[in-house]
Amino acid sequence: MNINLTLFGQTIAFAVFVWFCMKFVWPPIMAALNERKEKIAQGLEAAERGMQQQEQAAAQVQEKLSEAKQQASDIINQAQKRANEIVEEAKGVAVTEGERIKAAAQSEIDKEVNRAKEQLRAQVSTLAIAGAEKVLSKEIDANTHRAALDELASQI
């Protein structure tokens, strides 16, 4: 256990090793550790920001969704209304058409009646004459009694 040069040998070695550690070992390790610390902090901040954005987006989606729903129901309502209108319109058209057809049929009937009347009128005189001939057993001159016959026909 002699105290000798080893004492200073160790002191010098100590100084050299501490210098080396301070120059080449400590700074890069510390730099990396600090950088990582910063990176983690940034990551957390980014996550926070992402969360906020996500919340905003969710709110926006909700808004858009309700808007779309509103629009859809509006469209459906309009369509319903329009459909009703169309049905009403169709009904109206059908009624008018029916009236028109009815009117046409009525006029046709009227015409037919008139025609039948005309025909009847045309034949009445003949029938009357024939009847009168039968009654009188003699021939009546048609031309002589024309005026009376026409009068008769017009009264039918």
Partner 1 sequence: MASEELTASDYIQHHLTNLTFGKHPNGEWGFAHSAQEATEMGFWAIHVDSMFWSIFLASLFLFIFHRVAKAMTVDTPSGLQNFVEWVVDFVNENVRGSFSAKNDLVAPLSLTIFFWVFLMNLMDLVPVDWLPVLAQWFGATFLGMDPHHVYFKVVPTTDPNITFGMALAVFALMLYYSIKIKGVGGFFGELAFQPFGKMGMPANLLLEGISLISKPVSLALRLFGNLYAGEMIFILIALLYSGGIVWGTLGGVLQLGWAIFHILIILLQAFIFMVLTIVYLDMAHQHH
Q: Where do contacts with partner 1 occur on this chain (CB under 8 A)?
A: 1-11, 13-15, 17-18, 20-22, 24-26, 28-33, 35-36, 39
Long-range contacts of 118-124 (CB under 8 A, 24+ apart): 120/156, 121/153, 121/154, 121/156, 124/152, 124/153, 124/156
* Separation of alpha carbons 9 and 63, rounded Å: 79
Between helix 26-136 and helix 146-155 the angle, nearest 10°, is 140
One DSSP character per residue, 5-21 reads THHHHHHHHHHHHHHHI
| Min CB(51)–partner 1 separation in Å | 23
Nearer to partner 1, 24 or 141 (CB): 24
* Separation of alpha carbons 88 and 86, rounded Å: 5
Tokens of 137: 């057993």
| Min CB(36)–partner 1 separation in Å | 5
Nearer to partner 1, 39 or 64 (CB): 39
Nearer to partner 1, 1 or 135 (CB): 1
| Min CB(62)–partner 1 separation in Å | 38
Backbone angles phi, psi at 144, to 5 degrees: -65, -40
Nearer to partner 1, 22 or 59 (CB): 22
Nearer to partner 1, 35 or 88 (CB): 35
| Min CB(57)–partner 1 separation in Å | 29
| Min CB(68)–partner 1 separation in Å | 44
